[in-house]
Copies of this chain bind each other. A is one copy, B any other.
Amino acid sequence: MTISSLLRPAAALLLALPLLMASPAQAQRRKKIPAPAAAANALAAELPDSVALRKLYDEALLRGQSYDNLNYLCNSIGPRLSGSPQAQRAVEWGRLTLEKMGLDRVYLQEVMVPHWVRGQKERGEIISERGKRLEAAVCALGGSVGTKGKLRAGVVEVRSLDELRQLPDAAVRGKFVFFNRPFNDALIEPGQAYGAAGDQRRAGPAEAGRRGAVGALVRSLTSARDNFPHTGSTVYQAGAPPVPAAALSTEAADELSQLLKADAKLSFELEMSCQTLPDEKSYNVVGEIRGAKFPAEIITVGGHLDSWDLAQGAHDDGTGVVQSLEVLRLLKASGLRPARTVRAVLFMNEENGARGAAKYAKLAQQAQETHVAALESDGGGFTPRGFTIEGASPEVQAKVRAWAPLLRPYHVDGLSVGHAGTDIEPLLKAVTPKALFGFDGDSQRYFDLHHTAADTFDKVHRRELELGGGGMAALVYLLSKYGL
């Protein structure tokens, strides 16, 4: 692309949009522009919505703190699986960060969480009938039992739980069941492919155990073809013996599948020292700005503080955490005191239990709180394109769609009916909000990283992240001003 093209008349329409900045921006990351003095709240209430949204975005893009916060969460705290010391450090960091913002209220909600640990040993090998060994990239699935030493057995490959159910017992007993259905790459949304392949990881090992297998190997849930195994929760069935369950990288899965075709008698050796320890005490972290007009009406915005243990949980869900913090900061720094109460919640234990989510909903119900809406960011911190909406009546959907012209200049006007988020979903039954929203960003790269050692800070782009915080703040501002 050349510049000259952009200076021609045809470009004028593209250039006409948000040029409210009088002087050229000096927004280098390390030399932040000093913020203008926050306008008086009374004045802010009178601002046209388009101006209010532009203020939020200026703050996000010129002085945004999501990226720096994420850097700390990823590089100074790191992986933070529920029950781990790092999860506890993340709770403390979250509380301190909220306290420094001068909010109306910051508090913790105690919750007991599962405490699963991966342990030191984690290794897989394909062993040919003749004894030749080939290492395979594996990781234990979250919640798996360990192998108690080395576990060696033959392998039976299936593409689905149905296919497993149709196998005779003799074909399964004493073996590893190898679930190897890949992502359907024809789907446009990787999240759909994840949903369609995910039963293998979630329910496959339990079914394998029920059928007498000694373990389960599951193809990693991704379109990428590389050597990163993807962890994630597996759930055992009551009454069926829990068997060790591991993810194979897609390269290892392809290799195992190919070798099986030539050598059906090969075996797999798995060693994993993972185990489940007693539950630990942990917390949701909550901060709120009290509504100026309707303080009893609550809008929740959140992400989850826990992550898997293999990497930094940058996109899953560090980005959702820092964006939720940023929504409060943007409102304050822009002098836009919300009419309704806005509450940021950093949920604990989304990845392997969602106990923080259950606790938040339960406490809200017990306190008979009035919840207008909730917004969750848990799909990665990539370029935003809008929101999903769940549990909303046609009238409420229409009300939200009417805001599209305000959101369009920022490319966050997309609104599709769909799942909003695991952490806010329990609110639907508990306190019947008018709508749940999910932050919806570009997700083509998300499942390359998801639950792997590659989900690190360097995969997050500063502007993409800050644009997401801006878009979330814009929606929350409109929700807080108009209700639903």
Contacts and interface: CB of A to CB of B under 8 A. Distances in A.
A190 B197 CA distance: 36
Contacts of A366: none
Copies of the protein in its oligomer: 2
Given A18-B187, A58-B186, A463-B444, A1 B254 contact: no
Contact of A17 (B11, B188, B199): B188
Given A6-B194, A188-B467, 8 more contacts: A2-B354, A2-B422, A5-B419, A6-B191, A10-B418, A14-B191, A27-B223, A385-B411
B185 A3 contact: no
Contacts of A27: 182-186, 223
A8 B419 contact: yes
B14 A416 contact: yes
Contacts of A425: 5, 8, 10
Interface residues of A, number: 91
Centre residue among A58, A409, A422 by max chain B CB count within 10 A: A422
Contacts of A160: 24
A192 B3 contact: no
Contact of A1 (B31, B186, B378, B390): B378
Nearest to A450: B1
Contact of A4 (B183, B254, B422, B448): B422
Interface of A: 1-8, 10-11, 13-15, 17-21, 24-31, 57-58, 61-62, 159-160, 181-192, 194-199, 201-202, 221, 223, 225, 232-233, 250, 254, 316-317, 350-351, 354, 378-379, 383, 385, 388, 390-391, 409-411, 416-422, 425, 442, 444-445, 448, 450, 461, 463-464, 467
A17 B189 contact: yes
A193 to B, nearest CB: 8
Contact of A418 (B14, B232, B461): B14
Nearest to A30: B225
A20 B192 CA distance: 13
B391 A10 contact: yes
A27 B184 CA distance: 7
A6 B378 CA distance: 12
Nearest to A197: B24
A250 B28 contact: yes
A447 to B, nearest CB: 9
